[in-house]
Structure 1
Amino acid sequence: MFFKKLVAAALLTGAGLAQAFAPQAGTWIVTSEMDGKPGRGFGIDVQNSTMVMQMYAYESSGQSTFYLAVGEVIDNKVTASLNKYNGGRYFGSGARSGTDAGSAGNVSIRFTSGTTGFIKFPNEGEIAISRFNFGYGAVAESLRGFWTLNSIGSEGLQSDLVELSRNLGATANGNGLMANAGETFGCEHQVRGSLAGNVLCAKINGSGQLLRTYVLIYSVNEGEGYSQASATSTQQSLQVRRITTPKGVGTGLFYKDAEQGSGPSALRQQIEHISRFGMTQ
């Protein structure tokens, strides 16, 4: 499994897995409750080690309400009081302050990655949660734009900044290889094979030789996974960040991809070989 490989990489590099990710800020959902209908959800933001969670839910009467929980994240786990408030400002009102209406009990969360975890609400068993991704489907065009990929391990820090701009079509196990202008770096959602559900990226030189492989899971603008230079090299813990959207909206960073490669066939061959047979010497 992908995350078992992350654990192995962390142990070999001397870096604790607890430091490999931070929960992504944004809207989270109870995974099993995602049915397209109004329900409950929550916003999570972790700054330094402090988590703030704002939850919208319902009373037993059916009336909507919200809660606020603040707690310290330790070893990817947090337990905090789920507090309720009422009497605050409403649309069109003058200045009013809400008052504490007591606690519904404790909420406990254990994060298993930056986008997944498990939560236990008062009077409920533990259930799976995930970052809600409503803007990017698992399709080739979702990979278009500028990306940074930074991995750390026994090889030290390895970094790449790349603009994925060319759709080279699907490989054997993917649904559309998005590459840079020089066709020396490409990424693709894997929909079949042992890497199904992951994004597989490959970096090659101008002669078509494989330089580095990346396997990752991403949500919205951030991702995590591992990179590897060869079949015998240690996997490096990988952090990925989207710099621009597919429409070019981003931070204003500019990257000129001038290197010309050996054409799309070499990049396609590397992606297909890795997805079928894994890393080879």
Structure 2
Amino acid sequence: MFKKWAALGLLAAVGVAHAFAPQSGTWVVTSELNGKPGRGLAIDVQDKTLVMQMYAYDASGNATFYLTSGTFSNNQYSGTLNKYRGGRYLGSGDLTGQDNGNDGTVSMRFESGTKGYVKFPGEQEKEITRFNFAYGPNPQSLKGLWLLTPLISSAPQSDFVDLVEELGPSEYGNGMVATKDNRFGCDNLVRGPNAGWVMCVKLNASNQLARGYFFKYAVNDGEGFTGVTSTTIDDMLIVRRLTNSSDDGTGVVLKNADTQEPASPAALRKAFEQIAQ
């Protein structure tokens, strides 16, 4: 069993001082997330450029589209909140949207890849978060292909695992999900000193602990720590979900494993004969 460890303190211990980009996707004003129509943000950062699209409303209640873009530096952004009118509508012919002025300056700062703060014109600063609407802290959310990569200088080795088997909860979790050979398993921790994190363990050929993992993730990406004993879980870890529970790829390459039609036995036999000649 892993000992209690100060997870956030380890971030400082390993000397993390790099700037980071917020996760691309849908963001919400945290205090306004109530299940009803409201304001939403689409944020994307590529290299040093941030683009933020926002759907909101004007003083008369009309839906309004905003766009801001510019340089993202030191986890912060500030730019003009532009608005537009006269663009193409459903069923129309070719129409080009026109600049309709701006409502002032919007500024953002981020303290992680999934949490930040925004200050809209005429408003106080508000917290914003990456909107996670599909994955909850449950066993089903852990199913699929994962790539776990320790950031260590000595013999780095990634684990590429397919979590498919539900094994019931561990002592501190709510439902372990494992590979078919039961040599790698993960669980959402809901009790104990590390509640709120995902914990994974890897067994060696002798069924002994080979490595442990702790991480937090949002949608398809995560970060955390890994180590080979209960007292050395201090190496940085990068995590990526490659497929969801339906085996649909989450990136730009992998597709559903069942989309390819099976070949006929005759075609397979013919291929053997071609090579054997």
Normalized against structure 1, the TM-score is what? 0.82
Q: Which has the higher contact order (CA 8 A, sep 6+)?
A: 1
1:134-179 CA-to-partner distances (Å, cap 9, x unmatched) read 1212100111111001121354633111011111101121110111
- CA radius of gyration, larger in: 2
2:7 is aligned with 1:2: yes
Q: For the Cα contact (< 8 Å) 1:221–1:241, is it kept in 2?
A: yes
Q: For the Cα contact (< 8 Å) 1:153–1:235, is it kept in 2?
A: no
1:200-250 CA-to-partner distances (Å, cap 9, x unmatched) read 111121323222221111121111122222344362222111111101112
Query: How far apart, CA to CA, are the structure 2 residues paired with 1:4 and 1:118?
Result: 22
1:90–1:105: structure 2 CA closer, same or farther, 3 Å change rule? same
2:18 equivalent in structure 1: 17
2:111 is aligned with 1:112: yes
Normalized against structure 2, the TM-score is what? 0.83
Q: For the Cα contact (< 8 Å) 2:213–2:233, is it kept in 1?
A: no
Q: For the Cα contact (< 8 Å) 1:173–1:192, is it kept in 2?
A: yes
Query: How far apart, CA to CA, are the structure 1 residues paired with 2:112 and 2:155?
Result: 23
1:49-71 CA-to-partner distances (Å, cap 9, x unmatched) read 21111000111121110100112
Query: How far apart, CA to CA, are the structure 2 residues paired with 1:168 and 1:76?
Result: 41
2:275 equivalent in structure 1: none
1:148–1:27: structure 2 CA closer, same or farther, 3 Å change rule? same
1:129–1:143: structure 2 CA closer, same or farther, 3 Å change rule? same
Q: For the Cα contact (< 8 Å) 1:150–1:158, is it kept in 2?
A: yes
Query: How far apart, CA to CA, are the structure 1 residues paired with 2:201 and 2:32?
Result: 36
Q: For the Cα contact (< 8 Å) 1:7–1:17, is it kept in 2?
A: no
| DSSP 3-state at the match of 2:232 | coil
Q: Say which is worse superposed, 61-70 or 150-159, in terms of deviation.
A: 150-159
Point out where structure 2 has 5 or more consecutive residues left out of the alignment.
1-5, 258-277
1:13-45 CA-to-partner distances (Å, cap 9, x unmatched) read xx6332xx5322111111111100000001111
2:126 equivalent in structure 1: 127
Where in structure 2 are the equivalents of 1:226-237 lying within 5 Å?
A: 226-233=225-232, 235-237=234-236
Query: How far apart, CA to CA, are the structure 1 residues paired with 2:202 and 2:157?
Result: 12
| DSSP 3-state at the match of 1:17 | coil
1:152 equivalent in structure 2: 151
Where in structure 2 are the equivalents of 1:64-83 lying within 5 Å?
A: 64-83=63-82
Tell me which stretches of 4 or more aligned residues in structure 1 moved more than 3 Å. 1-4, 153-158, 231-234
1:261 equivalent in structure 2: none
Q: For the Cα contact (< 8 Å) 1:6–1:226, is it kept in 2?
A: no
1:215 equivalent in structure 2: 214
Query: How far apart, CA to CA, are the structure 2 residues paired with 1:211 and 1:253?
Result: 31
Query: How far apart, CA to CA, are the structure 2 residues paired with 1:159 and 1:193?
Result: 28
Q: For the Cα contact (< 8 Å) 2:225–2:237, is it kept in 1?
A: yes
Kindly state the Cα deviation for residue 185 of structure 1 after the two structures are TM-superposed.
1.0
Letter in 2 for 1:179: A
Kindly state the Cα deviation for residue 253 of structure 1 after the two structures are TM-superposed.
9.3
Query: How far apart, CA to CA, are the structure 2 residues paired with 1:104 and 1:156?
Result: 53
Query: How far apart, CA to CA, are the structure 2 residues paired with 1:164 and 1:63?
Result: 46
Q: Give the RMSD, CA atoms, in angstroms.
A: 1.9
2:100 is aligned with 1:101: yes
Letter in 2 for 1:4: G
2:31 equivalent in structure 1: 32
Q: For the Cα contact (< 8 Å) 1:6–1:17, is it kept in 2?
A: no
Query: How far apart, CA to CA, are the structure 2 residues paired with 1:224 and 1:155?
Result: 19
Q: For the Cα contact (< 8 Å) 1:154–1:236, is it kept in 2?
A: no
Q: For the Cα contact (< 8 Å) 2:202–2:210, is it kept in 1?
A: yes
Q: Say which is worse superposed, 151-160 or 114-123, in terms of deviation.
A: 151-160
Q: For the Cα contact (< 8 Å) 1:110–1:119, is it kept in 2?
A: yes
Letter in 2 for 1:28: W
1:155–1:120: structure 2 CA closer, same or farther, 3 Å change rule? farther
